[in-house]
């Protein structure tokens, strides 16, 4: 109820979850050879960092979209402690990113598609339970669009017989 009143009050200046996720999807679409996953970091309803997954591009298996926007955000804002930080990502975070999201004191996390293989906010494991965190989690935002971009990527890989169909986190 409070949330509803709040969002109605700010309806002209505040973007909603779907609009932020649409920005994360735009980022995902720029991933080229990388798995199309995009993330947006938001502070007080302003986007402060945006990235796609760049594991292949940077030859760094740790360069998941979420990790990149967290590091960019920390560089810009310093500590997230006491700040109203939300992270939007097109796919449910893996265990590494879920732990990083909790450790960096992000308040709310929103993801699009559920990841039954590696998802660490409820699908495979629940990192918030493991780390005893009260972070707010919501999945399924623009879920169809977020799954579709991944499915299309794998379909294209198979068509190219690229030989990289084994997915790793
Ligand atoms: Zn990750």
Q: How high is the pLDDT of residue 2?
A: 47
User: Could you read off the pLDDT of 140-163 as tens digits, one per residue?
Assistant: 999 999 999 999 999 988 888 755
Q: How high is the pLDDT of residue 52?
A: 98
Q: Who contacts 163 (Cβ-Cβ below 8 Å, separation ≥6)?
A: none
Q: Which of left, alpha, beta for 91 (phi over 0: left; psi -120 to 50: alpha)?
A: beta
Q: How high is the pLDDT of residue 159?
A: 87
Q: How remote is the CA of residue 9 from the centroid of ligand 1, in Å?
A: 35
Is 66 a catalytic site residue? yes
Q: How remote is the CA of residue 127 from the centroid of ligand 1, in Å?
A: 12
Q: What is the mean pLDDT of residues 42-57?
A: 97
Indicate the pLDDT class of residue 26, thresholds 50, 70 and 90: very high
pLDDT surpassing 70 at residue 10: no
CA distance 122 to 99: 13
Q: How high is the pLDDT of residue 133?
A: 97
Q: What is the mean pLDDT of residues 164-168?
A: 67
Q: How remote is the CA of residue 33 from the centroid of ligand 1, in Å?
A: 17
Q: How remote is the CA of residue 85 from the centroid of ligand 1, in Å?
A: 18
Q: Who contacts 133 (Cβ-Cβ below 8 Å, separation ≥6)?
A: 102, 127
Q: What is the mean pLDDT of residues 5-20?
A: 69
Q: What percent of the chain has pLDDT over 70?
A: 89
Q: How remote is the CA of residue 163 from the centroid of ligand 1, in Å?
A: 22
Q: Do the beta carbons of residue 48 and residue 65 sit within 8 Å?
A: no
Helix, strand or coil for residue 1? coil
Tell me the pLDDT of the chain averaged across its residues.
91
Q: Give the tokens for residue 112.
A: 């699009």
pLDDT surpassing 50 at residue 104: yes
pLDDT surpassing 90 at residue 81: yes
- Give the relative orientation of helices 95-103 and 65-77 as an angle to the nearest 10 degrees: 20
Q: Which entry of 18, 66, 160, 166 is annotated as an active-site residue? A: 66
User: Could you read off the pLDDT of 50-59 as tens digits, one per residue?
Assistant: 999 999 999 9
Quick one: which of 52, 49, 29 has its CA closest to 41? Answer: 49
């Amino acid at each position: 109820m409070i949330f509803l009143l709040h969002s109605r009050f700010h309806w002209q200046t505040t973007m909603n979850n779907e609009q932020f996720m649409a920005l994360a999807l735009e980022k995902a679409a720029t991933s080229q050879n990388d798995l199309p996953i995009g993330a947006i970091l938001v502070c007080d309803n302003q986007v402060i960092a945006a990235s796609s997954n760049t594991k292949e591009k940077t030859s760094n298996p740790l360069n998941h979209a979420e990790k990149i926007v967290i590091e960019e955000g920390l560089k810009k804002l310093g500590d997230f402690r006491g700040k109203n930080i939300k992270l939007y990502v097109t796919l449910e975070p893996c265990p590494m990113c879920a732990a990083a999201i909790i450790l960096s004191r992000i308040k709310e996390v929103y993801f699009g598609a559920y990841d039954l293989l590696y998802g660490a906010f409820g699908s495979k494991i629940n990192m918030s339970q493991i780390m005893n965190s009260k972070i707010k989690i919501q999945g399924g935002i623009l879920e169809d669009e977020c799954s579709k971009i991944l499915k299309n990527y794998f379909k294209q890989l198979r068509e190219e017989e690229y030989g990289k169909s084994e997915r790793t986190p």
